[in-house]
Amino acid sequence: MKRFAPTAGWTGLFFAFTALFFYIVVPAKVNLNLTLLLIAIINLAVFAWVEKSAIREAFKGRAAVYGLNTTVMVIVFLGILVFINMLSFRHKNRLDLTEGKLYSLAAQTEKIVSNLPRDVKMTAFFQSEAPTKNEFDLLAQGYLAQSDKLSLEFVDPDKSPAITKRYGVTTYGTVVLESGGQETKIASPTEENLTNGLLKVITDEKKSIYFLEGHGEAGIEDNSKEGYSTVKKALEKDNYKVEKLLLLQSGKVPDGASLVVINSPRKPLLPEEIKGIESYLNQGGSVFLLLDPDVDSGFKPFLDSWGIEIKNDVVIDPLSKLFGGDFAAPIIQKYTFHDITKDFGLATIFPLVRSITPKSTPGIETVELLKTGENSWAEMDITDEKVKFDEGKDLQGPVSIGVIATKKLAGEKPEPEESEEKGSAKPEKATLVVFGDSDFANNNYFNFTGNGDFFLNVTSWLAQEENLIAIRAKERKSSPVQLTSSQGSMIFMLGVVVFPVIVILTGVKVWWRRRSL
């Protein structure tokens, strides 16, 4: 029996490691793992019983004492690791050290998730061993850390076909969001898509944004560089209903419109159309007006009544040339403090922009939202080929190119009881935002640094959706290291030749010294 003890010991160790291996690789094979573990325990128990005297003597030696001390230190070290892991599990703070903060949620996402009005359930349909499941779980934990109203449940479509069929899921990696009576499916669960999905399920009614047409405006269906199709897609992602408005036919802005966007008409509006817009504003509406230079849209008298002055000029900024731009395309990096710009720090470019300045008007409150740099000016002579600042004629910078005008509406504020009976109180103010350029938001410039985000922030504020005023979810960008030929050769020599040779020579030296002792 004694001669079979070593065989039993080695067999026990072999099956123990085999059981550990299969537990890590195929944890679902429970019966197989338990069988291998039982064989290992039986063999090790036989070895310990036969060699109990030798084992007892071994534990009395000096090596055993040192080994026991080492074991205790290892156990203490593992205990510290377990304690740290428990702390990290209970406290969901995460540290993102990547250059582009790829594993941090965008400011827009944090705003929306931290202000959820009701509970939202996420059901993720992933295979148990799919790599994409871990990727999504990492993203989802960032959402869960922002709010207790958000919950997550994983479902394996192969193991739970009934649940999968009930939700109507047909592809792996689909995430279903549920809140109240709303439900939406997300086939590609990126941060942008998840955030847009949250907006859909927590909003019972979509707000409508109308774009004026019929006067040469850039169309929301136009995919050319000058078109506004990118704007439409971005607004629809933010859960808005985007529609066209032809005042020549309707004669008025539709009831329930949250915002009207007028992006630089090339032909003047008829007086009846402008009256329709003014009537909409006087009912508490919001209008976003974008007017390009050297274009008469017929809005000058209307804007004068709203405390806003427009001139036929072009803003020039010499510093824009230093950033690879154009003199007539000012780059804005500093903004007036406002709810629209509170969390906004991206640069915006306005190609060919005119000045928009406020003037004192009774009953109208104005704010200069955008200003160009101190070295800029508003050039009055736009036909002159040689551009220079003319003292006393041109307007010295900083030049205002964006103004917010607010008018308090007449009428008594309804009593709280009356408001509840009628459903909602009548709006107390009308808001008009005027920019001196419409090209900054077209398909060609929408994705330039902060242009698109800034346009969406303005529309969100005007539509009274302040939760959407933030920077949108970022995309993963490639950041390759560019090396010259000499730098590449140096790194190759150091890593492949120099350092390995130093290690080898050091080893040879130590070996030679010990050999001579």
CB atoms within 10 A of CB 473: 18
Number of domains observed in the structure of the chain: 4
217 shares a domain with 193: no
125 shares a domain with 258: no
Residue in this structure with the two tokens 């128990």, named with its chain if needed: 45
Confidence (pTM): 0.63
Boundary residue ending a domain (176, 198, 220): 198
349 shares a domain with 311: yes
349 shares a domain with 497: no
167 shares a domain with 299: no
Boundaries of domain holding 175:
107-198
Whether residue 431 lies inside any domain: the answer is yes
The CATH number of residue 129's host domain is 3.40.30.10
214 shares a domain with 188: no
143 shares a domain with 169: yes
Query: In 296-428, where do the E strands start and end?
Result: 308-310, 314-316, 331-332, 348-349, 356-358, 364-371, 377-379, 395-396, 400-408
Residue in this structure with the two tokens 């993102």, named with its chain if needed: 96
Tokens of 33: 């793992």
Whether residue 476 lies inside any domain: the answer is no
Instruction: Give me the tens of pLDDT residue by residue for the chain, a chain 517 residues long.
Output: 667 777 888 888 888 888 888 887 777 788 888 898 899 899 888 888 887 777 777 666 666 667 777 778 888 888 888 888 777 766 666 666 666 666 678 877 888 898 899 999 999 999 988 889 998 998 898 899 888 999 999 999 999 999 999 988 888 999 999 998 888 888 888 888 888 888 888 877 788 999 999 999 999 999 999 999 999 998 988 788 999 999 888 888 998 899 999 998 999 999 999 999 999 999 999 999 999 998 888 899 999 999 999 988 999 988 876 555 577 888 888 888 888 888 788 889 998 899 999 999 999 999 999 999 888 889 888 776 677 887 878 888 899 999 999 998 875 444 444 444 444 455 678 999 999 999 999 999 998 888 998 999 899 899 887 666 565 655 555 666 777 888 888 888 888 888 988 999 898 888 888 776 6
The CATH number of residue 304's host domain is 3.40.50
Q: In what order do the strands lie in the sheet with 400-408?
A: 240-245, 207-212, 257-263, 286-290, 429-435, 400-408, 364-371
351 shares a domain with 245: yes
Whether residue 49 lies inside any domain: the answer is yes
Whether residue 430 lies inside any domain: the answer is yes
Whether residue 173 lies inside any domain: the answer is yes
Query: Long-range pairs for 130-133 at CB < 8 Å and ≥24 separation?
Result: 130/172, 130/173, 132/172, 132/173
